[in-house]
Amino acid sequence: MDLGLRGKRALVMGASKGLGRSVAEALAAEGVAIAISGREQASLDKVCDSLRSLGAPKALGIPADVAKAADMDALADGALAALGGVDILFLNHGGPPPSTALGLTPEMLEKWFRPAVLSPIQVANRLLPGMRERRWGRIISVGSIGIEQPIANLAISNTLRAALAGWNKTLSAEVAGEGITCNILAPGAFRTDRTTETAEAAAKKTGKSLDEVIAARAKTIPAGRMGEPDEYGPMAAFLASDKAAYLTGCIVRLDGGATLST
């Protein structure tokens, strides 16, 4: 299916690996010019070479740390300067470390509030004026099924991603009439470094092996397996297309049926 994205311009945050890279690759295959962010220029440059081979007419990497406000302004401005505008924004950041609600401290929340909530909003605010002027834009935020069904031992993520979901829903209503959609693409368990990190924490806590923890997690998923990163990006590309123009303010789950609520 041709999603009609050729000629569009995207900023994909956290695209050096994992789900962010999957999104960048899916957009590149649709002919989108792409700016990506991550911490290391060398890693970004390698990904950009791959994106160009997939079909991106332009691909560049901009190093940025989501924990630093100045980096977020520089990232947004750098993407605007390099691409001439940003039509599609994928907001992404590394997941917070595991924590129980009882073990949650104000210091932990303060540390992660910047990368998980403030930085995504800051970048979006920087790029929204151009989208509003063109009366077309797509803002897609990485989320988690923990927004709707809190995940045990991920109290920081459950709390802060819910805050971003509230912002997303509020913003979506304010800009829907201007041709801008705002959605959250919420993954369940995917085979990423983040999944390995949380599984290692669970293994240490329970005394089980990493393989045992991963196998047990897969058994809780109706699909019987974890998702692969390349199953995530295509849905983001669809949400970025005109074919999804009437879909906004939503949390779209990709979880193999793991969320129990309707």
Q: Per-residue pLDDT tens for 237-253? A: 999 999 999 999 999 99
Pair (204, 114) in one structural domain: no
Name 89's bridge partners. Answer: 11, 139
Q: Do 81 and 202 sit in the same domain of this protein?
A: no
**What is the Cα–Cα distance from 69 to 78, expressed in whole angstroms?**
14
Same domain, 137 and 212: no
Q: What pLDDT score does 238 carry?
A: 98
Q: Is the pLDDT of residue 116 over 80?
A: yes
- Looking at the fold, whether 198 and 246 belong to one and the same domain comes out as no
Query: Are 27 and 74 found together in one domain?
Result: yes
Report, as an integer, the average pLDDT of 37-42.
96
Same domain, 186 and 202: no
Mean pLDDT estimate for the chain: 95
Return d(Cα 187, Cα 181) in angstroms, integer: 19
In a domain, 64, yes or no: yes
- Assess whether pLDDT exceeds 90 at residue 2: no
Q: How many domains does the chain have?
A: 2
Cα of 61 vs its chain's centroid, Å = 17
Residue pair 250/183 in contact (Cβ under 8 Å)? The answer is yes
The reply to whether 259 falls in a domain is no
Do 121 and 222 lie in one domain? The reply is no
CA distances from 99 to 19, 155, 161, 181, 221 (A): 22, 5, 14, 33, 22
The predicted structure's pLDDT at residue 1: 73
The pLDDT confidence band at residue 203, using thresholds 50, 70 and 90, is confident
Q: What domain range is 76 assigned to?
A: 9-190+229-254
Q: Choose between 204 and 143: higher pLDDT.
A: 143
- Specify if 152 maps to a domain: yes
44 shares its domain with 71 = yes
Distance between CA atoms of residues 163 and 87, nearest Å: 24
Query: What sign results for the dihedral spanned by CA atoms 179, 120, 93, 73?
Result: positive
Better pLDDT: 122 or 193 = 122
Q: How confident is the model at residue 127 (pLDDT cuts 50, 70, 90)?
A: very high
Q: How many CB atoms lie within 10 A of CB 157?
A: 24
Q: Is residue 3 part of a domain?
A: no
* Structural tokens at position 154: 């991920």
Do residues 115 and 204 both lie within one domain?
A: no
Which residue type does 100 have? T
pLDDT tens digits, residue range 74-113? 999 999 999 999 999 999 998 899 899 999 999 999 999 9
Of 146-150, 207-211, 219-223, which gets the smallest average pLDDT? 207-211
Using 50, 70 and 90 to split pLDDT, how confident is the model at 114?
Answer: very high
The answer to whether residues 34 and 51 belong to one domain is yes
Q: What is the structure's pLDDT at 201?
A: 79
pLDDT at 115: 97
Question: Which residues fall within 8 angstroms of residue 94, CB to CB, at 6 or more apart?
Answer: 14, 66, 115, 194
Give me the pLDDT at residue 206, please.
85
What is the CATH classification number for the domain harbouring 104?
A: 3.40.50.720
Does residue 4 fall inside a structural domain?
no
The answer on 93 and 168 residing in a single domain is yes
Q: Is the pLDDT of residue 197 over 80?
A: no
Q: Are residues 55 and 171 in the same domain?
A: yes
Task: Give the contacts of 221 (CB within 8 A, at least 6 positions apart).
Answer: 188, 189, 255, 256, 257, 258
